[in-house]
Amino acid sequence: MLIGQVRASDLVFRYGGEEFLILLAEVDHVKACFVAGKVRHRIEASVTPLTDEQSVGVTASIGVAAHDGHPDFRHLVDRAEKALCQAKAAGRNCTVLAES
C-alpha cells in the first residue's frame, strides 16, 4: 500500500516492528507533508476483512522531517522519530512536522 502512494524514485523501508520509513527524494517539507497526508488517508480508508462478518481498519501516525543539511542521515531519522512520537502523543492518526 505504501509503495503505491509514492514515486518510483522514493524508497520505502520497514523500520522497527510496526514502523515504516519513506524516503522522498528531492522534496521540501510542504510536499513531504502532502505525501504523508495522502498515505495516512489511504491507510485510514483501507479495511481488511477478517471473516465474512468482521473486518478491521487501522490508522497511522506520521512524523515528517526534511533534510536540514546535516551530513549524518541518522540525524534526519532521529528528527522524524521525534515527530512520530509527538503525533502519537497528540492522539494518533495525524501528521507532525519535525522542528528544524
**Residues assigned a catalytic role:** 18
- Locate 39 and state its grid cell: 498515505
* Distances from the Cα of 53 to the Cα of 4, 32, 47, 49, 50, angstroms: 28, 37, 13, 8, 8
Decide: helix, strand or coil at residue 38. Answer: helix
